[in-house]
Amino acid sequence: MEVLKERYSITELSEYLNVTDHTLRYYEKEFGLIVPKDERGRRYYRTELANIMYQIKSMRDEGLEIKAIRKILQSENIIQDPAVATNETSLTVPYTNNENAYTELKNIFLTLKDEIACSVTAEVASTKEHISKELTKNKLELGACIENNMRKMESKLDKHFQDVDDCLSKWRKKNRSGIFKKIIGKAFQRKAL
């Protein structure tokens, strides 16, 4: 999603994603998303949260069910499993006009963002390595299976050609003795004449 703003109101994001405000609140509830509120109690969505909402909407547009989307987002560590999330303590930050508190909080989130990015990168690399190993293993198994089937096919073909050779040999023997009898029979007939 191309994020045009750093912060969206619920109405702006719903218009941008072409969904209703209710749909966004439903996604918040279903996926356990914590949406911050401003000093007047109105929801606002930062870039990361807007991107998550965009991903959810895109997957819904593709026909995926909420359960499937939740599993995908949990497997990609975009959202937490509710069982895990409930074991952690939540952090509430009271609203303050103090610029230092804002800067400190912003730095905490930036650090958290970097840690998450590193964690996701490591997980992707690990998954990529695992998939590569699985593909190599499957490739070797497939090669062995093909080689085994080729040997079986060669064995069947050898037996088939041996059977054909045996039949031809029997036919030749049968017809040779018949030809000799005919030749000898004709020779005796000529002598008798």
pLDDT confidence bin for 3, thresholds 50/70/90: low
Each residue's pLDDT tens digit, 134-146? 999 899 888 888 9
Say if residue 24 is exposed, middle or buried (CB neighbours under 10 Å; 0-12, 13-18, 19+).
buried
User: Cα–chain-centroid distance for residue 183?
Assistant: 78
pLDDT at 117 over 50: yes
The neighbour count for residue 75, using CB atoms within 10 Å, is 12
- Please give the DSSP secondary-structure letter assigned to residue 61: H
Each residue's pLDDT tens digit, 72-104? 999 888 888 665 544 444 455 455 556 777 888
Give CA–CA dist 71/131, Å, rounded: 19
Location of structure tokens 């914590």:
34
Global pTM value: 0.43
Instruction: Supply the mean pLDDT for the chain.
Output: 83
Give CA–CA dist 63/75, Å, rounded: 19
Backbone angles phi, psi at 146, to 5 degrees: -65, -45
Residue 157: predicted pLDDT: 94
Residue 188: predicted pLDDT: 73
pLDDT at 160 over 90: yes
